């Protein structure tokens, strides 16, 4: 309330006789135990909320009473809580601005034209500022919805709710069971040209059913839907309906169901698509079902089902918390906190009506802003990668709307606001301090910089013991952990096929030698020369088979401690050629093989101060290391499955290669040496930390953004 009940401007409006326009309705709502009145403007589809004190004035505006009489009547009703004349003037101005009242004075045609022109310009600039979401109204579906209104009662009832829930739970269980098949080679399947065309066809159909879900939910509880059209969301045509009349519903659960209807419909579509996908063979129908499942699931999760964006779930959350206009009021609450605690404006009104509302508003304002940044940049990067020049324009507009325009508004507010002029010194001191602190945080103060990578304990190639020939293991001569010398026999295998091949090769050699001797004795020199070549070939074949025979006995190449990999009970099992059997670890430094992403290799090569390693099983023990070797070129083959995401590592595996652990992104391999590594740790996971020179956060953000753009644009 103002200090004085009276206003110097009261004489200008005291004799006016205001009344609400005929197209305006008033609905009584209860939010967090407090009574509010929502004015519904059927002409514009807008809604305006007023408290009990304001309604005591609005309810008396019937065109017969003057504003002076209305103020006195309200004073008799409210007593000490009666509004001041300034507050009445402010309320009248607010009602006039939204065009919901009229007075006994003739309308100002010039003002009406100016207001209409301003609305037209506002609509035009909203399209320019938000080119990623442009709406085109097409028709009024109210007549059609009235003819089919009985369908809404059949859809929205407790029995259908139970059926819907059972169907969704079944679909979730099927998704969990078939998860490997659903996600196998997902990126290639989605980005295939024919699949993108299929998505482009399916998406508008799914969204059309989604919007009819909203429309029939509105009709279920007596609302009206007067606008339906197409919205181009990132150039994709998407149907929409205006379901804003649900804001007049007194029951918040009805409003929540209207907002959630689209999500529920898409979830049901996804469940039906799952049933089709599970019960059909590969073909066009199964592809349609898979893409429908993908569209209905992903769009619900990222957009409609996410309350941090102003889509369906936002309105559900707003009604659940009983905080109307949650997004705008949350931003106003942040502004109030800044004015109060930074600039000392103690008489500023809070946008929240309780401490609980204030906490929700602050939390929502921060989280939604961060998520909008994430989703906006994701969309920009996607558009830029497909349509470069259009994407650049959209990026400039989006960055201006998200950062530039709010900053300009803040600067204008700090300069022009009348209340802040009285605290000019404090305002500029606080603003300068915060600006300098942000700049210092981003570009001046250095912070520790490091790269963390996963690796495994490794040994040199000459210390690895592989099966030289294929055979059945018959003897394990040395137990794991024993010392061995060069030439000691570690494993013995047998292969009857090799014995047969040796006999055949030996017989072939004897035959060729006999034929050669006969040809020489008969003086057939040319024939003897040809047979001699066959003798040499037969001798080479015999030597090769004998070499394989000798390979059945695996010996130690160096002196050291033997560590066995194959199970102890592996005797009489076939061991294929090339199988890793164990290691012989000499008295030297062992290695850690680390896989580093392409984004981090530059810092490791050009700015490295120290390397430290921690073993997964002994994470508290830190060991110093040195880089001794690195593969100069990038590759996709990982040294161990333990470095993949499925093995607890950092790199996603390419499902197209089932034989070897191959990552989607290229990696660089580095070898580190540490002293006195325990033998039992060979093959164990380790965490390597590469420490770099300290650097401010801003330069890192710039570098990461630049690297991301270069990767997405294939520069």
Let me know if residue 546 belongs to a domain. Answer: yes
Let me know if residue 124 belongs to a domain. Answer: no
DSSP percent split of the chain into helix, strand, coil, nearest 5 = 55, 20, 25
d(C-alpha 10, C-alpha 17), whole Å? 14
CB within 8 A of 681, min separation 6: which ones?
457, 615
Q: What is the DSSP letter of 300?
A: I
| Alpha carbon distance, N-terminus to C-terminus of the chain | 62
Q: Taking each helix axis as running N to C, give the angle between helix 284-299 and helix 252-279, from 0 to 180 degrees, rounded to the nearest 10.
A: 150
Residue that is written with structure tokens 């592996």 in the block: 570
Residue that is written with structure tokens 């809604």 in the block: 47
Let me know if residue 706 belongs to a domain. Answer: yes
Helices (H) and strands (E) in the chain, counts: 24, 23
In a shared domain, residues 399 and 484: no
CB within 8 A of 76, min separation 6: which ones?
none
Which range of residues forms the domain containing residue 400? 323-445
pLDDT for 644 = 80
Check if the beta carbon of residue 196 is closer than 8 Å to that of residue 104. no
Q: Phi/psi at 543 (nearest 5 deg)?
A: -60, -40
Residue that is written with structure tokens 């200090």 in the block: 3
d(C-alpha 300, C-alpha 8), whole Å? 55
Let me know if residue 46 belongs to a domain. Answer: yes
- On the question of pLDDT at 308 being above 90, the answer is no
In a shared domain, residues 543 and 642: no
Average pLDDT over residues 151-169: 90
d(C-alpha 111, C-alpha 114), whole Å? 5
Closest CA to 365 of 408, 332, 404, 413: 332
In a shared domain, residues 376 and 488: no
Let me know if residue 123 belongs to a domain. Answer: no
In a shared domain, residues 295 and 150: yes
pLDDT for 518 = 84
Q: What is the DSSP letter of 65?
A: S
Check if the beta carbon of residue 642 is closer than 8 Å to that of residue 456. yes
Q: Taking each helix axis as running N to C, give the angle between helix 193-220 and helix 252-279, from 0 to 180 degrees, rounded to the nearest 10.
A: 140
Mean of all residue pLDDT scores within the chain:
81
Kind and range of the H or E element at 37?
Answer: strand 34-41
More confident residue, 643 or 98: 643
Closest CA to 653 of 602, 595, 613: 595
Average pLDDT over residues 318-344: 89
In a shared domain, residues 159 and 202: yes
Let me know if residue 591 belongs to a domain. Answer: yes
Q: How confident is the model at residue 42 (pLDDT cuts 50, 70, 90)?
A: low
In the chain, the percentage of residues whose pLDDT exceeds 70 is 86
Domain boundary among 39, 71, 106: 106
**Integer-rounded Cα radius of gyration of the chain:** 39
Measured CA distances, 118 to 112, 113, 115 (Å): 10, 8, 5
d(C-alpha 409, C-alpha 338), whole Å? 14
d(C-alpha 455, C-alpha 124), whole Å? 56
pLDDT, tens digit (0-9, with 9 covering 90-100), for 175-223: 888 887 777 666 556 656 667 778 888 888 888 999 999 999 999 988 8
pLDDT, tens digit (0-9, with 9 covering 90-100), for 50-64: 777 788 888 888 888
Encode burial over 308-321: b for 16+ CB neighbours within 10 A, e otherwise: bbebbbbbbbbbbb
pLDDT, tens digit (0-9, with 9 covering 90-100), for 410-426: 888 888 888 888 888 88
In a shared domain, residues 489 and 366: no
Closest CA to 205 of 284, 288, 141: 288
pLDDT for 256 = 92
CB within 8 A of 220, min separation 6: which ones?
152, 153, 155, 156
Measured CA distances, 401 to 136, 233, 398 (Å): 22, 17, 5
Measured CA distances, 370 to 364, 365, 479 (Å): 10, 9, 59
Task: Report the CATH number that the domain containing residue 17 is assigned in CATH.
Answer: 3.90.930.60
Q: Burial level of 117, CB count in 10 A (0-12/13-18/19+)?
A: exposed
In a shared domain, residues 299 and 329: no
d(C-alpha 295, C-alpha 238), whole Å? 13
In a shared domain, residues 208 and 265: yes
In a shared domain, residues 183 and 299: yes
d(C-alpha 60, C-alpha 17), whole Å? 10
Let me know if residue 413 belongs to a domain. Answer: yes
Domain boundary among 540, 575, 610: 575
Give the chain's domain count.
Answer: 5
In a shared domain, residues 260 and 387: no
d(C-alpha 597, C-alpha 255), whole Å? 49
Let me know if residue 113 belongs to a domain. Answer: no
In a shared domain, residues 386 and 485: no
pLDDT, tens digit (0-9, with 9 covering 90-100), for 576-628: 887 878 888 775 556 888 999 888 888 898 899 999 988 887 788 888 888 88
In a shared domain, residues 586 and 695: yes
Closest CA to 592 of 610, 614, 608: 614
Say if pTM beats, i.e. exceeds, 0.85: no
d(C-alpha 616, C-alpha 606), whole Å? 28
Domain boundary among 542, 575, 608: 575
d(C-alpha 704, C-alpha 706), whole Å? 5
pLDDT for 498 = 83
More confident residue, 344 or 681: 344
d(C-alpha 668, C-alpha 600), whole Å? 9
To 10 degrees, the CA torsion angle through 513, 518, 523, 529? -20
Measured CA distances, 456 to 129, 184, 261, 561, 635 (Å): 51, 27, 51, 19, 17
């Amino acid at each position: 309330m103002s200090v004085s009940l009276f206003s110097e401007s009261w004489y200008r409006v005291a004799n006016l006789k205001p009344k609400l326009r005929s197209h305006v309705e008033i609905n009584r709502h209860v939010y967090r135990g407090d009574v509010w009145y929502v004015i519904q403007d059927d002409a514009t589809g807008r809604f305006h909320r007023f408290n009990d004190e304001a309604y005591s004035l609005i309810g008396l505006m019937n065109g017969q009473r003057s504003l002076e009489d209305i103020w006195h009547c309200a004073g008799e009703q409210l007593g000490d809580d009666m509004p001041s004349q300034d507050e009445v003037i402010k309320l009248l101005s607010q009602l006039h601005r939204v065009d919901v009242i009229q007075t006994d004075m003739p309308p100002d045609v010039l003002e009406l034209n100016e207001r209409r022109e301003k609305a037209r310009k506002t609509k035009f600039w909203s399209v320019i500022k938000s080119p990623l979401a442009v709406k085109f109204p097409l028709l009024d579906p109210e007549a059609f919805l009235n003819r089919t209104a009985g369908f809404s009662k059949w859809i929205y009832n407790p029995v259908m709710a139970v059926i819907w829930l059972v169907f969704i739970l079944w679909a979730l269980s099927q998704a969990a069971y078939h998860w490997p098949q659903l996600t196998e080679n997902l990126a290639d399947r989605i980005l295939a040209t024919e699949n993108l065309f299929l998505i482009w066809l399916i998406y508008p159909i799914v969204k059309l059913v989604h919007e009819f879900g909203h429309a029939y939910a509105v009709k279920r509880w007596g609302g009206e839907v007067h606008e339906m059209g197409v919205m181009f969301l990132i150039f994709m045509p998407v149907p929409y309906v205006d379901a804003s009349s649900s804001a007049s519903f007194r029951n918040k659960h009805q409003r929540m169901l209207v907002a959630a209807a689209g999500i529920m419909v898409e979830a049901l579509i996804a469940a039906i698509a799952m049933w089709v996908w599970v019960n059909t063979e590969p073909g066009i129908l199964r592809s349609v079902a898979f893409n429908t499942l993908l569209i209905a699931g992903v769009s619900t999760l990222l957009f409609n089902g996410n309350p941090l964006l102003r889509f369906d779930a936002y309105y559900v959350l707003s009604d659940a918390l009983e905080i109307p206009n949650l997004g705008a009021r949350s931003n106003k609450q942040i502004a109030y906190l800044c004015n109060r605690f930074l600039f000392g404006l103690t008489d500023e009104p809070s946008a929240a009506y309780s401490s609980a509302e204030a906490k929700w508003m602050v939390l929502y304002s921060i989280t939604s802003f961060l998520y909008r940044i994430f989703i906006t940049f994701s969309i920009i990067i996607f558009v830029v990668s497909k349509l470069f020049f259009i994407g650049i324009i959209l990026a400039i507009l989006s960055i201006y709307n998200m950062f530039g325009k709010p900053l300009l508004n803040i600067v204008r507010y700090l300069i022009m606001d009348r209340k802040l002029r009285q605290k000019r010194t404090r305002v500029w001191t606080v603003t300068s301090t915060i600006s300098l602190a942000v700049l210092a945080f981003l570009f001046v103060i250095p912070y520790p910089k490091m790269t963390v990578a996963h690796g495994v304990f490794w040994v040199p190639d000459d210390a690895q013991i592989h099966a030289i020939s294929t055979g059945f293991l018959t003897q394990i001569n040395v137990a794991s952990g024993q010392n061995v010398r060069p030439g000691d026999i570690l494993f013995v295998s047998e292969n009857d096929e090799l014995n047969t091949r040796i006999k055949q090769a030996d017989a072939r050699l004897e035959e060729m030698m006999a034929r050669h001797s006969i040809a020489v004795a008969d003086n057939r020199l040319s024939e003897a020369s040809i047979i001699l070549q066959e003798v040499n070939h037969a001798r080479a074949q015999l030597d090769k088979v004998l070499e394989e025979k000798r390979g059945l006995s695996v010996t130690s190449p160096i002196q050291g401690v033997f560590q066995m990999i194959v199970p102890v009970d592996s005797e009489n099992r076939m061991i294929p050629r090339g199988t890793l059997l164990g290691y012989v670890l000499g008295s030297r430094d062992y290695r850690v093989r680390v896989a580093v992403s392409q984004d981090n290799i530059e810092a490791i090569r050009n700015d490295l101060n120290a390397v430290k390693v921690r073993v997964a099983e002994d994470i508290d023990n830190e060991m110093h290391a040195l880089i001794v070797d690195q593969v100069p070129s990038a590759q996709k083959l990982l040294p161990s499955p333990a470095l993949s995401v499925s093995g607890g590592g950092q790199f996603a595996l390419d499902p197209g290669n089932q034989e070897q652990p191959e990552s989607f992104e290229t990696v660089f391999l580095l070898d580190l040496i540490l002293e006195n590594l325990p033998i039992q740790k060979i093959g164990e996971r380790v965490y390597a930390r590469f420490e770099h020179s300290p650097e401010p956060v801003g330069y890192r953000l710039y570098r990461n953004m630049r690297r991301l753009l270069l990767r997405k644009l294939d520069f």
